Amino acid sequence: MSAFIQLLRAHKGELERLHGHELTTDMRCAISALLRCKTEQQGRSQWYCAHCHHDDRLPLSCGHRHCPQCQQRTTADWLQRQHRKLLPVHYFMVTLTLPYQLRVLARYQPKALYQTMFHVGTQLLKDFAHHQQQGELGFTAVLHTHSRQRNLHPHLHIIVPTGRYDASKQAWHRSDKRYLFNAFALAKVWRARMLEAINQSNELWLPMGIPKQWVVDCRRVGYGKAALDYLSRYLYQGVLPDRDILRTSDHKVTFRYRDGQSKQWHTRTLPTLQFLLLILQHVLPKGLQRVRDYGYLRGSASELLKRIQLALLPLFYVMPTIVTPIRSKATRPCPCCQHDMDCVGITRPR
């Protein structure tokens, strides 16, 4: 069982008693799902091996997107779908961050703030592409809510392939693989549009002391596979992997994190209840989609993406082969003969 879920089960009563007023409805739903995960309360799945006729029954996982112990399949499937969309061109990763003063909005109005970030950030890239070069831009935007120390730090990672598609001419236009957009110009417009959107919102407010300079990072990431692999590690496997939780006791938890500048490992020790709140604050609001595709990478543009891939077909021969078939149904290896077992039934508790 996940170390975080064990801590949550052991300290749930104390957490409710001392910090119940800080738990949102979404946090409570996540807690309920995580405590049921892979227990008799969740139900059981029945598996059958056609090779050796072995029969097995296993407790069901909760399927909650913040559960650290049951989203590995979801991560693998998402990564395979993104690999199918990769183009044989160089990629950039644009990171749009918010200053410290605005992070309080993520605590009290997370859904409104995150939706605003998606709307402003994606329109920002579309407008820059429109002014610099004709043709449609394709990109994938991913919301992250935490820093390496797991503090609240909402930001958008946007993976952008270089090049544009001109639908009127049905032609692909190459771009400079060394340059996408000016990061300083992006930061100025990002700041101005976010402040304008917050001022016009009925749910958000503008705190005092907003800095005049914001940070936007725009860097080349090769063919894109490394960036997708990086993002996949944070999407469906919980905020903090079990391997990074080093020590737990009745009163304290110690976990490790890698510093972004020095690349060295550091540790952080917190009281147990504070640690639980630190992780739970990253539970996303219900219905908020944290990964979104735009332009010719969106789901409804699959035919357009195929035409682009056909136009770039000669370049695929120099691109590393990374695509593997997506499994159409759930399977698991048989403990007796190692052949695939199929799920043949689900039993729910009455």
Digits of tens for pLDDT over the chain (350 positions)? 788 999 999 999 999 999 999 999 999 999 999 998 888 787 888 888 988 989 888 888 888 888 887 766 677 788 888 888 888 888 999 999 999 999 999 999 999 999 999 999 999 999 998 887 667 889 999 999 999 999 999 999 999 998 888 877 878 888 878 888 899 999 999 999 999 999 999 999 999 999 999 999 999 988 888 888 877 776 766 788 889 999 998 789 999 999 888 889 999 999 999 999 999 999 999 999 999 999 999 988 888 998 888 888 766 544 444 444 445 567 788 989 988 888 888 887 77
In terms of domains, do 172 and 210 share one? yes
My answer on whether 30 and 93 are in the same domain is no
pTM over cut 0.75:
yes
CB-CB neighbours of 10 under 10 Å: 13
Q: Nearest 5°: phi and psi at 228?
A: -65, -40
Residue 326: predicted pLDDT:
47
269 within a domain of the structure (yes/no): no
d(CA 263, CA 225): 21
The long-range contacts involving 78-83, CB below 8 angstroms and separated by at least 24 positions, are 78/232, 78/235, 78/236, 78/291, 79/228, 79/229, 79/232, 80/323, 80/324, 80/325, 80/326, 81/326, 82/140, 82/228, 82/232, 83/225, 83/228, 83/322, 83/323, 83/324
Q: With 0-12 CB in 10 A as exposed, 13-18 as middle and 19+ as buried, what is 338? A: exposed
The per-residue DSSP string of 42-65 comes to: T-EEEEE-TTT--EEEEEPP---T
How many domains does the chain contain in total? 2
Burial 53-87 (b: 16+ CB within 10 A, else e): eeeeeeebbbebbbbbbbbeebeeebbbebbebbb
In a domain, 256, yes or no: no
Co-location of 60 and 98 in the same domain: no
Q: Is residue 118 in some structural domain?
A: yes
**Residue 171 pairs with which residues in a beta bridge?**
166
Identify whether 323 is part of a domain.
Answer: no
The amino acid at 57: R
Task: Please tell me the predicted confidence (pLDDT) of residue 344.
Answer: 84
Q: What is residue 133's predicted lDDT score, i.e. its pLDDT?
A: 67
Question: Distance (Å, rounded) from C-alpha 161 to C-alpha 92?
Answer: 6
Q: Within this chain, do residues 98 and 202 fall inside the same structural domain, yes or no?
A: yes
253 within some domain: no
Say if residue 204 is in the same domain as residue 294.
yes
Query: Residue 197's pLDDT is what?
Result: 97
Q: Write phi, then psi, for 104 (nearest 5 degrees).
A: -65, -30
Q: Running DSSP on this structure, what letter comes out for residue 197?
A: H
Alpha-carbon gap, residue 282 to 119, rounded angstroms: 20
150 and 101 assigned to the same domain: yes
Asked whether residue 84 falls in the same domain as residue 188, the answer is yes
Q: Are residues 299 and 336 in the same domain?
A: no
Residue 249 lies in a domain: no
Q: How far apart are CA 254 and CA 244, in angstroms?
A: 9
CB 172 within 8 A of CB 308: yes
What does the alpha-carbon distance between residue 47 and residue 24 come to, in Å, rounded to a whole number? Answer: 37
Residues 22, 97 within the same domain? no
Domain range holding 10?
3-45+55-64+331-347
Q: Are residues 215 and 288 in the same domain?
A: yes
* Residue 272 to residues 20, 185, 240, 258, Cα–Cα distance (Å): 15, 43, 14, 21
- Say if residue 191 is in the same domain as residue 229: yes
What is the structure's pLDDT at 171?
80
CB of 164 within 8 A of CB of 134?
Answer: yes
- For residue 197, being part of any structural domain is answered with yes
Q: What is the pLDDT of residue 32?
A: 93
Question: Does 289 map to a domain?
Answer: yes
Helix (H, G, I), strand (E, B) or coil at 204: coil
Q: Mark whether 131 and 229 lie in a shared domain.
A: yes
First to last CA, the chain: 24
Q: What is the CA radius of gyration of the chain?
A: 23
